[in-house]
Structure 1
Amino acid sequence: MLEFTPLADGEAGTDTDAADADNTDTHHTRMHDTRRRLELGGIALTGLLAVTMLGFLTLDWLQEYPYASALYEQFRIAGWWMDYYLGTNVFYHPYLWRSMATGVLIGVVGPLVGTYLVHREMALIGETLAHTAFAGVAIGLLFSSTTDWSGSLLLVALVVGILGALGVQWLTERTDTYGDVPIAIMLTGSFAVGTLIISYGRGLTGINIENYLFGNLSVITPSGARLMGILSVVVVAVVAVTYKQLLFITFDEQAARVARLNVTWYNTLLIVMTAVVVVGAMQVLGVILVAAMLVIPVAAATQLAHSFRETLYLSILFGQVSIIGGFALSISQSLPAGGSIVVVGIAAYLLAVLVSDRSAAAVSVH
């Protein structure tokens, strides 16, 4: 005869709770793995797109050579088919391919550098260096209008922007004021210099300065697009090589100093890379909106990411969504590209806030 032995109170419940916990852990693990694969897949596609755009810029530069010319025509043909299926008349033109290439590269390097800046509470530095670069454009315009010089205004803006970045770094280390005071002084001072130069040289040049203030696809010259390509490769390579050092000074600068890391050098490197990215992005977004690509994709990423590395990945993906969506909105509705990109970026940020399961980002240093 079989005997029935009743379970002690809570024994059956304990087994059930343990099974539920195991199922929950398994579900979370699968969700995490799926999310990880999607993120890495998105980064791989972004990398492929960026390499393709770099390839176009290279062919655009070397199109006078036979093999490069043949491959260059394939891009034109692909653009023609895109126009055919989309009912547009824009993708066949090389200037739009240059604009898209520049935009895609900005969507990579902007959030890449911006992730470090946002976590160091230095988001304002992008706006500052944009105004410094604007002063560089003004200097270049005045110089070209009063001399026979016909060089690249973007190159002048890059030089002035880097000098401005070094100036901010020098003021920050040499003064006892609050950290954002030198940044605010450089922001207002450089823009004041730019406006004075523009006012002084008004009528001497036929270039519309509003294109540099608000961005314009027509501003992107072949030399400007190639310069953005070169600078993007340099920025990505530098971040890849110095990733651990930049991460260290971002989250614990004092400990980095104790560990005898050359903090001043890495701070200078980061701010110079910011100047480089700002000058490139200024072609599309303009001085007024250029800081958006350094901040908005990162802000969206921090709502969803659980680690610094994941923030880096997601910010680049949000950057590409902003760029591609902004270009689509701009082309379809005949709107300015800069404003369209920023609006799409803000929409992506608000969506990230809505789907986020936390009110504040808790990012681990991994």
Structure 2
Amino acid sequence: MIDIAEMLSYRFMRLALVAGLCVGLVAPLVGSFLVHRGMALIGDTLAHSAFAGVAVGLFLGSLNVGVSPYLSALVVAVLAALAIQVLAERTDAYGDVSMAIVLSGGFALGSVLISLVDGGIAVGIDRYLFGSLATVTADNVSVMVVLSAFVVGVVAVTRRQLFAVTFDETAARVSGIPVRRYNRLLVVLTALVVVAAMQIMGVVLVAAMLVVPVATASLVAESFRQSLGIGVVVGEIAVVVGITLSYAYGLAAGGTIVLTAIGAFVLVSVIVR
């Protein structure tokens, strides 16, 4: 029997739960636009770019330059997101090609920076790769809450334009919507979500929360608005159940959350069929 009261008596678990609820909200919210645009892999691409950003921060730290790995991850992820759009807009490369280029480049940069200090930052980077409940701090949670509020606010204000661009770029362009601007806005929002979720999920698994809850919602939703709502509900349930099981049985939080989300997808698939 899982003692919820005991779990919530620990400050780090309360902080982890708040952080997780932020992830469960914003990841499916932004992921809904990505999945319906066929851009599900951009989350993985930006996660690998965030890995490079973390490596940059840790590398600078080894040189006694005080830069937060999360700040460097945010900067690099946003630059990578814009690079993907610029490559897709100004070259003949298709979207998945530009994503593959940025993904491989980000991971390569991170691995090179690690090797420059003889792997000395490899230990420090593990928690960024796989996530950790125990290392969530009040400052981390404050940043996540601010980022989440910003993402939700931007989506609320621009939801009509993002919807139009997602489902018919040509019609959106004809109606006067600056498609390129909203494409860039969407990938930047994705970068913010990836970095915000990295603390709990880790770089390796963060992209799953952009996709799996949305895929589950798509099985039963009758409209895009329903898909948004159901995706967020599935994401929040996966986070709460995953964190609880992680605490009770000593499991990796990110992996448990993702497996819970996948379990929900399989269950809904069986019920629908």
- The CA distance in 2 between the partners of 1:227 and 1:268, in whole Å, is 22
- The CA distance in 2 between the partners of 1:108 and 1:88, in whole Å, is 24
Matches within 5 A, 1:296-315: 296-315=212-231
- The CA distance in 2 between the partners of 1:139 and 1:201, in whole Å, is 12
- The CA distance in 2 between the partners of 1:148 and 1:158, in whole Å, is 17
Deviations 1:252-289 (Å, cap 9, x if unpaired)? 00111111210011011100000000001111111111
Kindly tell me the number of residue pairs found equivalent between the two proteins.
Answer: 273
Seen in structure 2, the aligned counterparts of structure 1 residues 194 and 206 have a Cα distance that, compared at 3 Å, is closer
Q: Shift of the alpha carbon at 1:244?
A: 0.5
- The CA distance in 2 between the partners of 1:304 and 1:102, in whole Å, is 27
**Equivalent in the alignment of 1:124:** 41
- The CA distance in 1 between the partners of 2:241 and 2:7, in whole Å, is 16
**Equivalent in the alignment of 1:323:** 239
Q: Aligned letter for 1:337?
A: A
Q: Shift of the alpha carbon at 1:87?
A: 7.4
Which structure exhibits the higher relative contact order, with contacts defined as CA atoms closer than 8 Å and separated by 6 or more residues? 2
Matches within 5 A, 1:44-193: 86=3, 89-149=6-66, 151-193=67-109
Q: Shift of the alpha carbon at 1:205?
A: 4.4
- The CA distance in 1 between the partners of 2:151 and 2:222, in whole Å, is 25
Seen in structure 2, the aligned counterparts of structure 1 residues 186 and 108 have a Cα distance that, compared at 3 Å, is same
Q: Shift of the alpha carbon at 1:203?
A: 5.4
Q: Structure 2: where are the runs of 5+ without partners? A: none
Secondary structure in 1 aligned to 2:52? helix
Seen in structure 2, the aligned counterparts of structure 1 residues 195 and 205 have a Cα distance that, compared at 3 Å, is closer
Q: Percent identity?
A: 48
Q: Structure 1: where are the runs of 5+ without partners? A: 1-84, 358-366
Secondary structure in 2 aligned to 1:228? helix
TM-score (normalizing by structure 2): 0.96
TM-score (normalizing by structure 1): 0.72
**Equivalent in the alignment of 1:342:** 258
Q: What's the C-alpha RMSD, in Å, of the aligned pairs?
A: 1.7
Deviations 1:114-154 (Å, cap 9, x if unpaired)? 000000000000000000011000000010111241x4211
Matches within 5 A, 1:217-366: 217-357=133-273
Deviations 1:44-91 (Å, cap 9, x if unpaired)? xxxxxxxxxxxxxxxxxxxxxxxxxxxxxxxxxxxxxxxxx9277542
Q: Aligned letter for 2:16?
A: S
Q: Aligned letter for 1:158?
A: L
- The CA distance in 1 between the partners of 2:127 and 2:37, in whole Å, is 31
- The CA distance in 1 between the partners of 2:154 and 2:8, in whole Å, is 33
- The CA distance in 2 between the partners of 1:281 and 1:206, in whole Å, is 20
Secondary structure in 2 aligned to 1:147? coil
- The CA distance in 1 between the partners of 2:216 and 2:98, in whole Å, is 28
- The CA distance in 2 between the partners of 1:183 and 1:208, in whole Å, is 27
- The CA distance in 2 between the partners of 1:141 and 1:99, in whole Å, is 23
Q: Aligned letter for 2:3?
A: L
Secondary structure in 2 aligned to 1:219? coil
1:210 matched to 2:126: yes
Kindly indicate whether the alpha-carbon contact (under 8 Å) linking 2:25 and 2:232 is maintained by their aligned counterparts in 1.
yes
Secondary structure in 1 aligned to 2:95? coil
Secondary structure in 2 aligned to 1:217? coil
Runs of 4+ in 1 over 3 A off after TM superposition: 87-90, 202-207
Secondary structure in 2 aligned to 1:218? coil
Q: Normalized per residue, which structure has more helix? A: 2
Q: Shift of the alpha carbon at 1:202?
A: 3.5
Deviations 1:333-360 (Å, cap 9, x if unpaired)? 1100000001100000001111115xxx
Deviations 1:96-116 (Å, cap 9, x if unpaired)? 211111100100000000000
- The CA distance in 1 between the partners of 2:191 and 2:170, in whole Å, is 25
- The CA distance in 2 between the partners of 1:206 and 1:256, in whole Å, is 46
Larger Rg: 1
